[in-house]
Amino acid sequence: MTPRRRAVPHPGPALRAAVYAAAALLASVSLGDTLWHGFADREGAFVFFAFIAFGELLRLPDRLCEERDPSPVGAAGALAYALLAPASVAQVVAVVAAATLAGRIPHIARPRPGDRTTGEHLARRVLAVGFIAVCCRPLAAPAPDAPGPGPAHVLLVIAVLLLSALCDSVVGAVLGHSRTGRAFGPLLREELRGTTRMSSVTGSSGTVIAFAVDTVGLYALPVFCVPLLLVHLAFRRYAAVRATYRQTIASLARATEVAGYTPQGHAHRVAALSLAVGRDMGMTGSDLTVLEYAALMHDIGQLALVDPVPDGATARLSAAEQRRTALLGGAVVRQTGVDPRVAAVVESLAEPWTRQPPAARIVRAANAYEEMAQRAPGAGARLRALEELRLGTAGTYAPDVVESLARVLLRGPAGASAVRATARSEAGPGWVTHG
């Protein structure tokens, strides 16, 4: 008998509390020091406060931005002030923190689904700006006998920005790990990918704004704000197009439900579960998009069947019928114009798991679990579905996918209490919880 694994406390809440405490301490000390000693360059502080708050007011919904910074205008303004301001580090942090919080007030009053908490966004902004201000203070206020700006000065600024982006990605991955329970490595890769995409825009814009204001004065700020606003509008349009495209795919996936081939909401439940498993297994970026689209349209081939399968359970079909349905589904998917990898995943759903791409293994296991769990809803059905999937790892389901599915269900709000309670009551003391 396999020995019972001792539950290990999840370190996420403690890590999140430590990050929040560090950011709160830095912001509080900076605000107190600034109020005690007064503001240096009041006009510049007020202008950058308004600029950063305006940028935060324009922030995009987090659900559209995914891993990118939802407020490029505010981020560029904060970076420019950290590079430019002749004030102390405390004043830089205080102004940026206050402006970020002021710009977030309308979003706090009217929260949108999927947005991260204000505390997380503020903590990342305060820590990043504090790091940049500390490193760039000798550059912003050089010694009287120091040489003027040159190539070395620019290289130092770039190095500081890269190091700051890396630290911000680590903080974001820590907060994401504490919020979702996902593995730290894949989260860090997502954060780094988002940093390279969006921080290249905000970093270059913030640096140019800092140098321009240092040379021309605060009048240069509105001029250099125009390119950032254009980037913001372009990204908003791109995000809206992606959201519309995803809604089109989701509507197409409902065709089997409207025709009575699959239960209502089946495709969306399989897609949500597949995405959770894919993230748990370290999938990121476009791989997750392919996985989501394949999960939504995995049953589209059933429209070619003369008689619907009871409850849409394709696992009950013969191997030849499953393969025919999968190939027909792949042919339909190719007509939609989506990524060809989506069609390849759908076409391989009837193959042995050893010949399937990772996304097909996940969709197959998630679909089978959904079909088994829906036969008799309840905690017992969920536990029996997991055990049946484990018994099928010999040739039907990938063992690592099944174990990841078990971790997701135990970690999620719907699966954790039900599966653990059923394990204690039905399986006896010898049942082993994995993960």
Instruction: Tell me, yes or no, if the pTM score tops 0.85.
Output: no
Tokens of 311: 């409850």
Q: What is the mean pLDDT of residues 53-67?
A: 70
Give per-residue pLDDT as tens, 178-220: 777 677 777 777 777 766 555 666 777 787 888 788 778 887 7
Average pLDDT estimate for 406-415: 68
Superfamily name with CATH number, domain 260-426: Hypothetical protein af1432 (1.10.3210.10)
CA atoms within 13 A on the CB side of 175: 24
How much is the average pLDDT of 332-343? 81
Instruction: Give mean pLDDT, residues 342-351.
Output: 84
Confidence of residue 8 (pLDDT cuts 50, 70, 90): very low
Tokens of 353: 């798991």
pLDDT at 2 over 70: no
Q: List the end-to-end C-alpha distance of the chain, in Å, as a whole number.
A: 17
Exposed/middle/buried for 114, CB within 10 Å: 0-12, 13-18, 19+? exposed
Residue 169: predicted pLDDT: 80
Q: How many CB atoms lie within 10 A of CB 30?
A: 25
The rounded distance, in Å, linking the Cα atoms of 345 and 364 is 10
The residues spanned by each domain of the chain are: 12-142+149-244, 260-426
Query: 62-78 pLDDT, tens per residue?
Result: 555 554 566 778 888 88
pLDDT in tens, 98-150: 998 888 888 777 766 555 667 788 888 888 888 888 887 655 545 455 445 55
Check whether 49 has a pLDDT greater than 50: yes
Query: In 339-376, which positions are buried (b, 16+ CB within 10 angstroms) versus exposed (e)?
Result: eebbbbbbbbbbbebeebbbbbbbbbbbbbbbbbbbee
Q: Which residue has the higher pLDDT, 369 or 424?
A: 369
Confidence band for 5, pLDDT divided at 50, 70 and 90: very low
Phi, psi torsion values for 61, nearest 5 degrees: -60, 140
pLDDT for 266-303, tens place per residue? Answer: 888 888 899 888 888 878 777 888 888 888 888 887 77
Q: Centre a 10 Å sphere on the Cβ of residue 131 and count the other Cβ atoms it contains.
A: 19
Q: What is the mean pLDDT of residues 341-368?
A: 86
DSSP string, 354-373: GGS-HHHHHHHHHHHHHHHH
pLDDT at 36 over 80: yes
pLDDT at 171 over 80: yes
Residue 264 CB neighbour total at 10 angstroms? 11
What's the rounded Cα separation, in Å, for the pair 141 and 375?
A: 70
Binning pLDDT at 50, 70 and 90, where does residue 151 land?
low
Q: Is the pLDDT of residue 416 over 80?
A: no
423-435 pLDDT per residue, tens: 333 333 333 333 3
Average pLDDT of the chain, as a whole number: 75
